[in-house]
Chain A
Amino acid sequence: MTNPTTKSRRHFEDLQIGETVALGPITISKADILAFATEFDPLPFHLDEKAARESLLGGLAASGWQTGALSLRMLADRFLSTIASMGSLGFTDLKWKRPLMKDDTLSGTASITALRRSSTHPDMGIVTIAFDMRNQNDQQVMTLNLANLVEIRDPSIGGSR
């Protein structure tokens, strides 16, 4: 039953509301934007600088899905790989507030805003993580609330949270 990958990691019982990890920074190049957009979001305003200037975005900008993917990578590196993560249930309130433009630097924070035990799986807890991603001018680029499953070390010990 023991999971060798996660047994020595922090479990649900070890997490606290208010914990915050710093994410990034990472600077996004034109090549990065084109590589992601070519595979997953081949719209003119993510692929072509002239089309981008004439679009609502006003210049070459990363796909919003790329901003999310980069943020997720930061969370995996700094947090999810240090806890007994069981994968994501989903998220709410993803807002792309500003585009991530060519040569922008993305960084931010991820904070635990809620912890509760699964009502259907006694060995699983759910951690809610709020992302606040910003550019180099401290302007918000993206926010979202991620719900992630975490192993409970000892399900026999009841907890109401």
Chain B
Amino acid sequence: MTRWFEEIELSTIYDLGSHTFTEAEIIRFATLYDPQYFHTDPDAARHSHFGGLVASGWHTVSVGHRLMVDRLTAEEDIVRTEGSEPGVAGPSPGVNRMNFSAPVRPGDTVRFTLSVTNKRKSNSIPGWGLLFNLIEAHNQHGNLVYSADLVSFSKLRDFRPTLRLRAAMALSRFPVFNKLMVRK
């Protein structure tokens, strides 16, 4: 989260908040990004195995991501108010696994949580660590609707680059990114 890599504790469960999905927003998202009839057409959806309209899984994921970003931003503000410099979260290289365990229906309220299950220093990017995050989402009945293993970069607080590395990084300012993101 907004702690420094070194301070992040494994298995603490962070509550990211909840979101209630309306029929209108389910249809709007799906019309843009996942126009399958059980996401966009309530009448046709009744004949599907879902028995009614359900949210695109990608919609649930995107809402959960927004809640995570909001939580990060709020925590950063708190840390700054306390006079400290917050940790730096970087981009994500990917998601190892994502399961849509149960449908999200109009009116459902979904609560998202995040925990860090493992962490290690990056082999490919000096000064950064990798966090292995577990994101889970439950509906108002307590049923798991979605879970994901998301990997993300987190900046090291205690990193002291060698003179040689500093020179190399200065010489390759832009390629640093490519080296960072391109995974064979």
Contacts and interface: CB of A to CB of B under 8 A. Distances in A.
Interface of A: 2-6, 39-43, 45, 55-58, 63-65, 68-70, 72-73, 76-77, 80-81, 85-99, 123-124, 144, 151
B97 A87 contact: no
Given A88-B100, A90-B99, A92-B96, A41 B33 contact: no
B177 A5 contact: no
Contacts, number: 120
B91 A57 contact: yes
Contact of A76 (B36, B178, B180): B36
A5 B97 contact: no
Interface residues of B, number: 46
Nearest to B155: A56
Interface in B78-125: 90-100, 103
B93 to A, nearest CB: 6
Nearest to B178: A98
Contacts of A6: 48
Contact of A87 (B35, B50, B180): B50
Given A5-B41, A5-B44, 9 more contacts: A5-B37, A43-B69, A58-B174, A73-B35, A86-B48, A90-B57, A90-B100, A94-B98, A95-B93
A76 B34 contact: yes
Interface string B47-63: 11110001011100111
